[in-house]
């Protein structure tokens, strides 16, 4: 059979040999990463200068003095100060396969052997098409009406595209519905919808938003009634003016509050009755529940009109039904992803779908249960020190002590110094949250991290937050 020149190159035995050599060298060097290590005094001054210089260059302090050295193994990562830490936040949910996973290194090498670094609207490689097909097939598995998948480079851009499709379809409707405490991203429009005043200081108003309270698992019936009542009053106040309601099915930045099937269905039925589109923002939930998409986990496949993904998926994307197909020119992008991110995405999606991650007894649930049981044991041994744990699947959080912002900040910096990278979420109470690398983490890693959490707690007990 006739072969393309590219196929001959990519299948050249020298390429396979070179790749194997690199992977062998990687494994040898990774073997030395065997646990948490404090910073090395020899790198201290140089590292501090690099962090300071970088902060100046970017016009704002780095949250952590984190600059990677470029080597890691699974959940462990070496930093430029010589320290080795457990990465249990993974760039806020991005590095799901951890650090230097051989599959990711291989994806990077394969991508480097393609003709371009980026793929874009005008010039795509076959892998972008194959990835879009893979994602659409998975999204339609339980009968969703999603037929199209537009790749992009950030969660914010995926959400912008989703809103544009919704407004375009529902013109002249010009309002959006969203949940209180939602986070959608940091573009001008999304900063308006994100329910956090500090994130839109000084920004002009771009979209009109009406907020609905979220589900409260302690009061399922009452919170559903309240949300429905609020939604109805917005719909009545602005008849025909809402294009779409955005659903963050598990509130992420808001503090790891999962929703509920009946709650969502009650609201979505009302929206459908008023011709308002249903959008699911899955940028943080994608690949972290018992199904690839959280809309599948919550069994609301037939309701979603537009869905966005990001973070763990390496590429971001907007899925939409055929009815929302835009006229030419509405959405377009110079680049839709780097070739390496598209190759990595493909491996991660295959890994998630075929690696036993999903279902009630899948790897994600087992990792979740293990982590949660360890945190519960810590909570039992230290009354008043740990509330929770909270969350779902690969999204786990706890509240230390009073949950005040200063307490939680103190906790995450103390954990960082002790060798665990976490982050905060929520707002009064704030929470310490984890997005562990589900494709690389082991129960031994979780045990080691929980030991560090337990050892760190006593130092947080004082009211001295200085
Ligand atoms: C639910 C949700 N939507 C949108 C975004 C924005 O994604 P990005 O930071 O890639 O623009 C995030 C990021 O944290 C998110 O959690």
Measured in angstroms, how far is the CA atom of residue 284 from the centroid of ligand 1? 7
Q: How many CA atoms lie within 13 A of 129 on its CB side?
A: 4
Check whether residue 173 and residue 245 sit in a common domain.
yes
Check whether residue 141 and residue 52 sit in a common domain.
no
Q: Which of 159, 256, 283, 289 has most ligand 1 atoms within 8 Å of CB, for mutation?
A: 283
Q: Is 55 part of any domain? A: yes
Question: Tens of pLDDT along the chain (466 residues)?
Answer: 899 999 999 999 999 999 999 999 999 999 999 999 999 999 999 999 999 999 999 999 999 999 999 999 999 999 999 999 999 999 999 999 999 999 999 999 999 999 999 999 899 999 999 999 999 999 999 999 999 999 999 999 999 999 999 999 999 999 999 999 999 999 999 999 999 999 999 999 999 999 999 999 999 999 999 999 999 999 999 999 999 999 999 999 999 999 999 999 999 999 999 999 999 999 999 999 999 999 999 999 999 999 999 999 999 999 999 999 999 999 999 999 999 999 999 999 999 999 999 999 999 999 999 999 999 999 999 999 999 999 999 999 999 999 999 999 999 999 999 999 999 999 889 999 999 999 999 999 999 999 999 999 988 876 544 3
Measured in angstroms, how far is the CA atom of residue 283 from the centroid of ligand 1? 6
pLDDT value for 464: 45
Helix residue spans in 113-219 (DSSP H): 126-139, 155-170, 188-193
Angle, helix 220-237 to helix 261-273, in steps of 10 degrees = 20
Residue of minimum CA distance from atom 7 in ligand 1? 155
Give pairs for 212-219: CB < 8 Å, separation 24+: 212/177, 212/178, 212/179, 212/180, 212/245, 212/267, 213/179, 213/180, 214/179, 214/180, 214/181, 214/182, 214/251, 214/254, 214/257, 214/259, 215/257, 215/258, 215/259, 215/260, 215/263, 217/257, 217/258, 217/260
- CA 59 centroid distance within chain: 25
Check whether residue 216 and residue 309 sit in a common domain.
yes
- What tokens were used for 364? 């994600």
Residue of minimum CA distance from atom 8 in ligand 1? 155
Check whether residue 238 and residue 125 sit in a common domain.
yes
Q: Which of 95, 184, 186, 341 has most ligand 1 atoms within 8 Å of CB, for mutation?
A: 184
> What is the tally of structural domains in the chain?
3
Q: Is 59 part of any domain? A: yes
What is the sign, positive or negative, of the torsion defined by CA atoms of 191, 192, 194, 200? positive
Core vs surface per residue 50-80: b (16+ CB within 10 A) or e: ebeeeeeeeeeeeebbbeeeebbbbbbbbbb
Total Cβ atoms within 10 A of residue 188: 14
Measured in angstroms, how far is the CA atom of residue 185 from the centroid of ligand 1? 5
Distance CA 398, CA 385 (A): 10
pLDDT value for 379: 96
Q: Is 163 part of any domain? A: yes
Check whether residue 77 and residue 141 sit in a common domain.
no
Tell me which DSSP letter residue 369 carries: H
Q: Is 113 part of any domain? A: no
Peptide bond before residue 99 is cis, with ω within 30 degrees of 0: no
Length of the chain: 466
Check whether residue 182 and residue 218 sit in a common domain.
yes
Ligand 1 pocket list (CB less than 6 A)? 92, 154-156, 159, 183-185, 248, 252-253, 281, 283-284, 310
Q: Is 109 part of any domain? A: no
- What tokens were used for 61? 């302090």
Check whether residue 62 and residue 19 sit in a common domain.
no
Could you tell me if 235 and 212 are in contact, meaning their C-beta atoms sit under 8 angstroms apart? Answer: no
CATH for 60:
3.90.1150.10
Q: Is 465 part of any domain? A: no
pLDDT value for 462: 60
Return the ligand 1 atom nearest residue 182 CA.
1
The set of residues, in sequence order, having a beta carbon less than 8 Å from that of 164 and lying 6+ positions away, is 326, 330, 331
Query: Which has the closest alpha carbon to 304: 223, 248, 227, 349?
Result: 248
The set of residues, in sequence order, having a beta carbon less than 8 Å from that of 44 and lying 6+ positions away, is 81
Check whether residue 137 and residue 269 sit in a common domain.
yes
- 208 SS3 class: strand
Tell me which DSSP letter residue 74 carries: B
- What tokens were used for 358? 């999903």
Q: Is 111 part of any domain? A: no
pLDDT value for 465: 43
CATH for 176:
3.40.640.10
**Full domain range(s) for residue 408:** 34-100+360-460
Check whether residue 192 and residue 322 sit in a common domain.
yes
Check whether residue 215 and residue 347 sit in a common domain.
yes
Q: Is 402 part of any domain? A: yes
Check whether residue 61 and residue 124 sit in a common domain.
no
pLDDT value for 466: 38
Q: How many CA atoms lie within 13 A of 288 on its CB side?
A: 30
- 37 SS3 class: strand
Q: What is the pTM of this model?
A: 0.96
Measured in angstroms, how far is the CA atom of residue 135 from the centroid of ligand 1? 19
Residue of minimum CA distance from atom 16 in ligand 1? 284
Measured in angstroms, how far is the CA atom of residue 184 from the centroid of ligand 1? 6
């Amino acid at each position: 059979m006739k072969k393309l020149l590219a196929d001959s190159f990519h299948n050249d035995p020298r390429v396979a040999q070179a790749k194997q050599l690199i992977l062998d060298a990687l494994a040898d060097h990774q073997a030395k990463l065997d646990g948490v290590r404090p910073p090395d005094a020899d790198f201290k001054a140089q590292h501090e200068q690099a962090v300071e210089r970088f902060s100046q260059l970017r016009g704002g302090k780095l949250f952590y003095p984190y600059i990677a050295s470029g080597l890691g193994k699974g959940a462990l990562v070496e930093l430029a100060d010589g320290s080795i830490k457990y990465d249990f936040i993974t760039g806020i949910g991005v590095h799901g396969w951890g650090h230097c996973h051989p599959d990711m290194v291989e994806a990077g090498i394969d991508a480097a052997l393609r003709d371009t670094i980026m793929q874009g609207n005008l010039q795509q490689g076959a892998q972008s098409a194959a990835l879009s097909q893979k994602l659409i097939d998975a999204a339609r598995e339980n009968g969703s009406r999603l037929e199209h998948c537009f790749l992009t480079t950030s969660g914010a851009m995926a959400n912008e595209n989703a809103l544009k499709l919704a407004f375009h379809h529902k013109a002249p409707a010009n309002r959006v519905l969203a949940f209180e405490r939602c986070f959608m991203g940091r573009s001008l429009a999304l900063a308006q919808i994100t329910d956090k005043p500090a994130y839109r200081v000084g920004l002009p108003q771009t979209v009109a938003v009406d907020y609905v309270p979220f589900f409260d698992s302690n009061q399922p019936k009452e919170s559903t009634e309240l949300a429905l009542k609020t939604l109805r009053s917005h719909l009545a106040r602005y008849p025909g003016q809402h294009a779409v309601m955005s659903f963050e099915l598990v509130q992420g930045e808001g503090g790891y509050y999962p929703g509920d099937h009946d709650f969502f269905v009650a609201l979505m039925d009302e929206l459908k009755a008023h011709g308002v589109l249903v959008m699911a923002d899955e940028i943080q939930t994608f690949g972290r529940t018992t199904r690839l998409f959280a809309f599948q986990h919550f069994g609301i496949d037939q309701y979603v009109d537009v869905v966005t993904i990001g973070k763990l998926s390496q590429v971001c994307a907007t899925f939409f039904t055929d009815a929302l197909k835009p006229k030419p020119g509405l959405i377009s992008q110079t680049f839709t992803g780097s070739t390496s991110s598209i190759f990595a995405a493909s491996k991660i999606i295959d890994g998630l779908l075929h690696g036993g991650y999903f279902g009630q007894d899948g790897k994600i649930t087992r990792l979740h249960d293990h982590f949660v049981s360890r945190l519960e044991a810590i909570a039992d041994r230290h009354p008043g020190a740990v509330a929770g744990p909270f969350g779902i699947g690969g999204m786990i959080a706890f509240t230390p002590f009073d949950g005040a912002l200063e307490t939680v900040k103190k906790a995450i910096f103390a954990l960082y110094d002790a060798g665990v990278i976490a982050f905060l979420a929520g707002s009064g109470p704030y929470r310490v949250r984890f997005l562990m690398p589900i494709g690389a983490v082991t129960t031994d890693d979780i045990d080691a991290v929980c030991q560090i959490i337990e050892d760190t707690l006593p130092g947080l007990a004082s009211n001295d937050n200085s």
